[in-house]
Structures are given as C-alpha cells and as structure tokens.
Structure 1
Amino acid sequence: MNMASNYQEDSDEGSNQSSESCSEFSDSDTDSEPATDSASDTEAAAQTSDKRNVCMHYNRGNCRFGDKCRNEHICSYFLKGSCKYGAGCRLNHNLQSSSAGQRRQASRDSSADTDEECDGPYRWQLNFGKGWENISNDHILEAQYSLPNTKGIKIYNTRAGVISIDFTKMRVLQKKNIKVRRMNSKDTEWLWYYRGDHCWYQFGGKGKKSPIESSKLETGYQSNRRGSVKFTIDSVQYEISFKGMCQTNLSTGHKRRVRRRPKYEQSKSGGLQGIASHMKNLLNPPTNRTPVWQFKGSKQWYTFKNTGGCSVSSADIERCYQQSQKTMNFTVNNDSYTLDFAKMSQVNQSTKAERKIRRVEK
C-alpha cells in the first residue's frame, strides 16, 4: 500500500474519545467498563460454573432475539445435570451449539484477542473492504503504540481521508467499513504498565516498586486472556484483570488502568532520530501556515511563550525542531523540563510528570 500518510497522536490527556472512557473512574482508572452483555434479554441470564452465558428468556420460551441473541440458547437444567426430560427436552442439549449472534460475538472476541504474526518485528495494515494493505512508514505508528500513554493516532491522506485509530480497542473510529490490525513476530517482547498518579509505570521496571514482572503478566495473559493475576505489596493485595485491563486494590476497590504494549524495535530508517525526521514532514496535514508549538494543560492546549518564567517560545522550539534535534531542554520558574520530539511530550525532570505537546498550524 503506497500511502503518503501524516500522523498525529491522540494521547490520554485531552482525548476527545469520551465514549471510550468509563465515567465512574478517575484519570488513574481503567480504559473501559468491565465487559458485560448489552442485550436486553440478559437481565436474568444465568452464568453456570463453566462460565457459559445462558439466555433465560430462551429457557422460558420467549426470547425475542431468536438466532440473533448474544446469549446461549441451551437448557439451563441440562448444564446443571438435572434436566428431568432428558433426550425428550424441547430445549437444546448440544454443548457445541449456540445462537448465531453468540457465534458472531465469539468470532469478534477471538479476533480481538489474537496477535497476528508476520515475518518482521511488526506490520501495520488497513482493510478498506478489499483485503489487507500495508501502511507505509508504519514505524511511526509503532513508536506511538509502544508508548503506554498514547491512546490512539490519526492518519491523514488515506483513500478514506483522515482516519482515527484507537490503540486500546485496535479499531478505526467512526468508520465501520475500515479495519486495522497490527501483526507482530512471535518473538515480540510485550511490556505491561499501570497508570500512576502522574504517569505510567512499567511492571518490573525502574521507578516505583513492583513485585511482579511484565514477563509474568504476559505469561498469565497468554494462558488466559480473560483471566486475572493477584499479587501483594506491603500486605495489600491487588488483582489485575486482563479482560477489563485494570488493576484493583482489593482492600479499597480503587482501580487503575493497565496497558500492554510492545517493546519498541528500532526501525531501519534511523531509530528515534529517523522518526523525528519523518514526523517533521508527516505529523500534520499540508499547509503553508506558520506552525505553533503547544502543550496540553488540564483542560486545553496552551501555546509556548517566553513569558511568565518560561525560557522558550514557540519559535525557539520550531527552530530546534527544524534542526532535527531529538530533545530540547528549557525551564519554567527554575523547574527543568525536556521536550522529546519523537514522543511529542514534555517531562518535568523533578517530578517526572509528563504532558503531551503538539505542532499545529495557526
């Protein structure tokens, strides 16, 4: 697929995809709600010991969804081993059978939970309805996807115009006829992160104490992608749910988001410096207007100005960016900060708090 694509990321901070967030959680909480069945006939659905979601309306003989029902049309007494009608029962006793709607749901769940393999370290592809096509310069997507704080990315100049890819759901937003997938090598190293109060922390990485390694979480995830892992910190027990991608303090019930991202493999185009060079040309749609650099505040974006204690202006950052430098240091009221052009972020060197930055045309 020969595409001249521009890329712009959508990070946690300021993401306008509010429909993908769980309203009862704070900024340090999970990405999505615990998975539940949305069909209206599940109000009285029984869940047996082997975790089969049974449609109780079917068992009563009045399921209005028929073959489209997402719950299983099977005799609940048969599953319990207590159906008095035996082979003469009018309800389904076939353990391998289910409604068409549930088979479609199972197919979606299976595809969402499977990592497609390829020969190289990774490959990003789009499907516009006529088969999978490679995305050019996909190392830029990979670099952003490997960052736990990045929720998604926008790609410009595709055959369908601007499309937004949601990394947490691995889907194209608002365009149901377009699909996206990431293929990876079987040797891909996956890293696990949790959302702290100020930034993301890697399990088993440097920084805050973590009693469990990313490798152990990955082993548990590969064993049962809808399961969970428990661990203890200072006598407090926590549980990580792979299905909900969240970490729960079992004492207080407080939840934090958890993400699984690949360890970034340096591209052949020059690593982070090469990415910065590509992003300089591809980050925003073509325009002749003067670019302005901004940082993300708690509620809106602010332009860098050499006032109020800030040592750099937007023009200063643009000059540094045009020189293809990887980072830039500056101060605000004697606090030191570092801009990272590959990650498009600024980091407070004292607190390690991270904010997103962007380059826009005004």
Structure 2
Amino acid sequence: MFHVPALPQEANAPGKHYEWQLSDGQQWLMINNDHIIECNYCQPGAKGITIDTDHGSLRIDFDDMTISGPFANLAVRRLSFMPENQTEDIGWYYRDNSHWCEYGVRGSSLSSQDIEQRYNGNPTGFFQFTFGSYTYKLDFSGMTQTNLSTYKQRKMRRRPKFNSIVYVNHSLNTSQQSTSTINQFPSATASANPSTRVTWEFMGDEGVWTEYQKPDSSLDSIDIERQYLRNPQGQLAFRAGRYSYCLYFNAGADMYQINNTYKTKRAIRRIEANESNSSSLCQACWQFKDMDGHWKDFVKGSGRGRCTISSQEIEALYQQNTSGVVPYSSGRFNYQLDLTAMTQTNLSTGTKRQVRRV
C-alpha cells in the first residue's frame, strides 16, 4: 500500500502538459521523473517500459495501459493538462513490414490530423479511405488498418509527439533516463532548491554546448534555474566579460541569449538529471554529420537547424533500447534515426547521414 497523497492538478510543473500516475486502488499517485515514460511512450515503436520504483519493478504496457509483474493489481493512466486554446500534437502510425510509419509522411492521402479528428468524433468507431487503387478501413476499437481488397491487416498506434503542442493551428515544440519512483510532488520550497541537478548551457563558437559558470559569467546554472522557476516565460540579464546579455526562457521553447551590443543570438538549453545518478545521460551527446562535413548536435526547437528531438531524449531512448529506431522531424522533412546502424535517413529523399554518440 502506498501512503503518498494524490497529486493535485494545480501542482503540475511549469510548461509540462502531461502526467503519468499509478493507482493502488484507493488513490492516484504521481510518478517522479515521468518524462522518461513520456519520452518512450511518444515513440510509436515502443510497446512499453519497465520502471524501477520504491516498491519494485513495474512493466507498463502502452497499448493496453496495464501493469504487469508482481504489482499487476495496480492501474496506470496518463493525464493531459492543456489550456483551452491548446491541444497535443498527436501522431497516428501504422506498422509496415519493418517500421512504424506516420500517416501522411509517405504520400498517404490521410494525415495524423485527419485521423485524430475522426477519432475524437467517435473513439470506438471506424471509417474508410482510399489511397491509390485500394480502399482501407481504420478500426479504432481494434486499432487496425485493413486493406479491403487483400484483407491484409496492419496494427495502428496513436501516440502524442514528445512535449509538442498545437497552439492556434501552429506547432510549438518545447524542451532525459533516470530511475522513476513513486513520490509526492515537491513543494514550492523544494522546487526553488531542486534536488535534481539542473545545468544551463549555451551554444559556443565551436558548436559545443558550454555551461554557464562563474567567474566567466555573472550567473551560473543555479542562479538561472532559480529565476526560471519563478517565471518560465521571463527574461534574465547577465554579464560575461565586457559584454551584457539577456536570456529568453520562453517556457522552454526555442530558448536563446542575445548579446546586447552586437545582437548575436545563441541557443541555450536546460538539462535536468538526478544528482544521485548523473551518469551517461548527462554526458553523452548525439550528433549527425551535416552536408558541410561537420558534426552537429541534435538541438530541439522550432528554429533553423533544429528538430523535434534533443540529444538528451535520444540518449534516454538509447538507454532503453540500443537497437531501436527513433522518428523525428526537422523543418518540412521527416527522419528516421537508426540506433544500430548509427544513421539518420530523410524519409522523403532517402538521404542517409552518419550519426554518432560522444
């Protein structure tokens, strides 16, 4: 029996629009570090995840939303907290002979948004669509796609896209593996002095992420984190050498700093890791070899040269499955990252590039 009070909705962390909870039959309890579960759940190829808790290991089945193992009597759920003018960006996928493919990516006449609209109208229904010379039936109850000519049936999955929301018809992308434990949501005091180690970094001249540290900067990671927790939408002025700068948090989406003299703009990022286990997840960096021959970090955001997944999120997935496949997008293109072959593939052009973990 767990003795942790249920999480009140208003305690949801700033900028976080989801929450995973477990129930012991009497109350729903939060799962600390549930971004690990979310990061895996958002990958269409993930069947489930095993998490370590204070009460033993639990296996969560993402398709059935059930718990297996010694604590199969527990229940699991995922909550979503969205303002009225926002909604989650949902992806719909079908299983081809070897991979999970998103509808609309490979020329399908039907997009994820089309299917989601139908699903919201009748989550237990079905409908038909035509692509090429074939007609297909999508069954939401069985989560299957059936070719009505050949009767070939394929599995379907509905998954949110990691930390991605739709706001007034535009996508905003917001931006880790450690041990998940059942715990009480931290109080405001605990949040102001977090037990997790948070690192703030900026993109340096050589394309290397560099931590804010004193005395080179008037602020360090602790100073920046305190201000960020007070106002995730705010700004923060600081000095480094003979120049003054301003940090723009933007609630985690497309964060950057501006040099007040030259107006130079640099990307910044926030990395969170448990102090008791700040291992390879913090240190490992994922990079791709760009067309200019230089290695570049996977940087999450909506700006030029950014994509829908970060180096830390790739590392979390790699820790779960070193031979997995990770879908993501950048600009108008969709890609597939093969963790075994260490390549990324542009699904539109077929172009492959090398990927490395450093």
Q: Which has the larger radius of gyration?
A: 1
| TM-score normalised by the chain length of structure 1 | 0.45
Q: 1 or 2, which has the higher helix percentage?
A: 1
Name which structure has the greater RCO, CA cutoff 8 Å, separation 6+. Answer: 1
Q: 1 or 2, which has the higher strand percentage?
A: 2
